[in-house]
């Protein structure tokens, strides 16, 4: 498990959803607890990526996210501003390690923080924005924008694993024989994100989490996984062609 709260898998929820989690298929030794009161909360940081495009075109930003909570026995809350500041610093270090995998046409614009306390499908306004602005440093060409390397966040419940998708990977991450992701890319990203999760969760009560909005559950992140299969994120596909050829006969 990542984070100092418990070495065993855990889920924190509210009274209304306690029975749902108790009847799920869970990893052995998983603890399920009711936090009482307003129920559990957490904070989510969005990583906002800009991407360069051909002249006279523009594309939407690419967004990925991590979730974190202050978790202890019977307590699960959003982060303080000091906690968020510390994670911003850790994310800067993470990006320094990761950006050699990312094409120079992609830049990490900023971190945007949202609080979910209590858990609701609409988190409300952004509560903190921290600029980064550093571009990827790989200059070997860029894979199509809809391709991404994914990392899976495994929780105690298989139905509620999380995942995020790193955009803008450089072409040298494409393994030439079978079209998979190169071993060096997979191991580098795995090591960098593992270090991020370990460093943030090493002290205090801040834990990386997977959150279920629908069932008001906050789950400890028990395992990080990166594999060598490309994921396709259709929403990131380029939408403005710079060339179009048609024929009628």
* β-pairing verdict for 10-13 and 162-166: unpaired
Distance CA 213, CA 166 (A): 23
Cα 76 to Cα 56, 81, 111, 133: the distances in Å are 47, 16, 22, 32
pLDDT digits (tens, 9 = 90+) for 61-101: 999 999 999 998 888 999 999 999 999 999 999 999 999 99
155 contacts 161 by C-beta, under 8 angstroms: yes
pLDDT digits (tens, 9 = 90+) for 102-141: 999 999 999 999 999 889 888 889 999 999 999 999 988 9
Ordered by start, the domain boundaries in the chain are 10-236
The per-residue pLDDT for 205 is 87
What's the helix, strand, coil split of the chain in %, to 5? 25, 35, 40
Distance CA 5, CA 13 (A): 15
pLDDT digits (tens, 9 = 90+) for 132-159: 999 999 988 999 999 999 999 999 999 9
- pLDDT above 90: residue 171: yes
pLDDT digits (tens, 9 = 90+) for 28-52: 999 999 998 889 999 999 999 999 9
CB neighbour burial string for 217-245, b if at least 16 within 10 angstroms, e if fewer: bbbbbbebebeeebeeeeebeeeeeeeee
What is the model's pTM?
A: 0.95
Question: 154: closest CA among 3, 5, 9, 43?
Answer: 9
Distance CA 59, CA 17 (A): 40
């Amino acid at each position: 498990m990542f984070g100092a709260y418990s070495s065993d898998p855990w889920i924190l929820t509210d009274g209304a959803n306690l029975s749902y989690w108790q009847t799920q298929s869970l990893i052995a030794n998983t603890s399920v607890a009711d936090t009482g009161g307003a129920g559990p909360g957490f904070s989510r940081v969005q990583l906002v990526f800009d991407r360069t495009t051909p002249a006279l075109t523009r594309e939407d930003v690419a967004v990925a996210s991590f979730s974190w909570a202050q978790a202890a026995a019977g307590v699960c809350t959003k982060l303080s501003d000091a906690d968020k500041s510390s994670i911003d610093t850790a994310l800067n270090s993470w990006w320094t390690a990761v950006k050699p995998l990312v094409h120079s046409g992609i830049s990490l614009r900023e971190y945007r923080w949202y609080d979910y306390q209590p858990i609701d499908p609409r988190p409300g306004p952004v509560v903190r924005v921290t600029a980064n602005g550093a571009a990827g440093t790989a200059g070997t060409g860029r894979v199509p924008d809809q391709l991404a390397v994914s990392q899976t966040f495994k929780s105690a419940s298989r139905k509620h694993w999380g995942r995020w998708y790193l955009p803008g990977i450089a072409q040298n991450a494409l393994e030439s024989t079978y079209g998979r992701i190169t071993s060096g890319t997979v191991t580098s990203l795995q090591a960098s994100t593992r270090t991020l999760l370990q460093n943030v969760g090493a002290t205090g009560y801040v834990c990386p989490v997977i959150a279920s909005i629908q069932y008001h559950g906050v789950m400890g992140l028990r395992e990080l996984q990166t594999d060598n299969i490309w994921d396709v994120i259709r929403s990131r596909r380029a939408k403005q062609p710079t060339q179009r050829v048609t024929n009628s006969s």
